[in-house]
Chain A
């Protein structure tokens, strides 16, 4: 055969191959990829979607579970920022590709238990090993739908304290031991803002009383029984706590007692290590951030005091998507991960306060002391007392979005120099255009 004919034959097979490849590409592109498939020897993989720090890996819980269940491999898919995590989760709820276990933030739980989404998750109230009485009652109720299905088991709660820099307080002529510091603002957030003015009057150069007025705003709203919703209706415009929190944030901004940082952003993280602010609102999960960003050089300089009012900021649930391939195994895993013993281990490792109140009685929780923050401070007692003092608040479906919008509103005053009226109007416009 002459060369051109050979070429054609080769060409033809190349065409066929490329067409086949294209077809394969199109087909696989349209079908969702498998997650957690079973292999021939009966082994299965469970995937766990999380955000921030859940501490399961750090506390060695996955390894322990896999040792107990040789047929199961656990893989965690972590995301740093909850907003990104939730976005991806929403997309997958309709498009497929969910993990076998999905974490849910408390601000999303009301949406997840609503009619729209509840069917997407399996009922966990009767999962093997689950004991309802162990969980904080309000936490249990938050994840329970109107028809009595519990779609999420509480992992942790966010009881608040105030973390403060002992050395900066001293330098500004304020009392610096936890007891007297707690007394400075006991019972009233307004006193906290007043203390800020006292601090600022004699503050070491270049330092501020608090990191961000957004933190203050969130803390005030979080410690109130009525937040953004009332009786199932959006009520932020005349919610007393939103008004109080806004006014206090305005005061803090105008008194220049806040450094005006965006919480969780890189400059905020840098500011920890540069010691430029003296207090930050300290939900239990904040301890991990303080330690990580302040660094070894600031060890022992932070301390922890009682907050003006008990409240809950944050805390999560684990849920099992009903469409998963291994729903039963995933339910067992979730029940095990949220059992008292496991939650106690997570608390000791990363500081997340258990949502499982039976864990408080375990050794090493109530009597826990954080070696980094205020060595000697009764960290475990402060947080578990605060956790049990939390009054349940109504969390509406868009609580997280509202908190985000108001946080931005406060930043408009802090960062962009808007007047309180401009910032309020912009926030209301933002909320109205976001929530249909």
Chain B
């Protein structure tokens, strides 16, 4: 592809060095210069337009429409017939009929988020640290890290559902070797959440490890050498050189993982099989995402589902805000 920057040998802007066009008529040249002005002013907007048009159609409009729906009682198969109910849907969720399920889902989203995000990031840090050393087949190992991330949620979840199956599942077989179990993984609150967080962790650890690895490679070698001269072993180097240098990267992955955890849907939904739509028989692993789906598409109450969607949106804004505050703190302290 041709380079987009003008060749510098012809002068700073390139264009100026071209011979002026033969003067045909003053009007034509005025027209051309106006065209040129539009070009320089308009082209950047035209170039970014696709994103904003698509965003407006598939991001902004649904967002506002969902907000509007959340103030109505509206059924999935009769969207044209919406009845204004004000804040009823929100009240239902916080204190009313479905509050039991809402608070349960909020708590589950939080516990599932912690259960999957924390081990995921710790393991990713460790893996990245190991891969940062000179190892045989380092290139292969780095590529292999991305394999789980490239697997579809559906495929991964179905395989893990088999592993955690009460009928001949591998997890119970392994437990049996140690004389423990069998555990009915899907039925228990903690066992099911553990199983789901294993799926999430498995899929995302490699991805985060690669991000950490990239950041680690930017840490100047001299820092490690100096630390080694001061007698710091590898663990101390990791603690006192790597971690501080990686702080912004860690913060970034924490935020991205938190957002991912807040929106968790596919893994618990597929893990539950027949009762996936409500996050398990006892709603034991129902997340906000699943609650939204269940209300909207299973009970066909679009208004209530929209209210859940907006609450999730609010939560994400809150997370973003906290992130901004911490980042500013960090920057100020440096």
Contacts and interface: CB of A to CB of B under 8 A. Distances in A.
Contacts of A39: none
Interface stretch (A168-176, A258-266, A363-371): A258-266
Interface stretch (B244-252, B256-264, B293-301): B293-301
A400 B301 CA distance: 16
A416 B282 contact: yes
A68 interface: no
A432 B97 contact: yes
Contact of A429 (B6, B100, B275, B298): B100
B203 interface: no
Q: How many B residues are at the interface, by size bracket?
A: 35 or more
A144 to B, nearest CB: 20
A15 B7 CA distance: 22
A2 B14 CA distance: 9
Contacts of A116: 75, 77-78
Contacts of A33: none
B15 interface: yes
A412 B297 contact: no
B167 A267 contact: yes
B305 to A, nearest CB: 12
Given A4-B18, A415-B184, A263 B274 contact: yes
A433 B97 contact: yes
A22 B168 contact: no
Given A7-B2, A8-B39, A416-B282, A266 B161 contact: yes
Contacts of B75: 116
Contacts of A265: 273-274
Given A5-B18, A83-B277, A433-B98, A12 B39 contact: yes
The binding surface of chain A is classed by DSSP as helix
B47 interface: yes
A94 B297 CA distance: 13
B166 interface: yes
A91 interface: yes
B281 A408 contact: yes
A274 interface: yes
A19 to B, nearest CB: 6
Contacts of B277: 83
A416 B284 contact: yes
Nearest to A89: B77
Nearest to B277: A83
B1 to A, nearest CB: 10
Given A93-B77, A94-B80, A25 B54 contact: yes
Interface in B143-177: 161-162, 165-168
Interface of A: 2-5, 7-8, 10-12, 15, 18-19, 21-23, 25-26, 29-30, 81, 83, 87, 90-91, 93-95, 116-117, 261-267, 270-271, 274, 276, 401, 408, 411-412, 415-418, 426, 429, 432-436
17 contacts: A4-B14, A5-B15, A15-B47, A19-B49, A26-B54, A26-B57, A81-B274, A83-B277, A87-B298, A93-B77, A116-B77, A262-B274, A264-B273, A270-B167, A408-B275, A415-B281, A433-B101
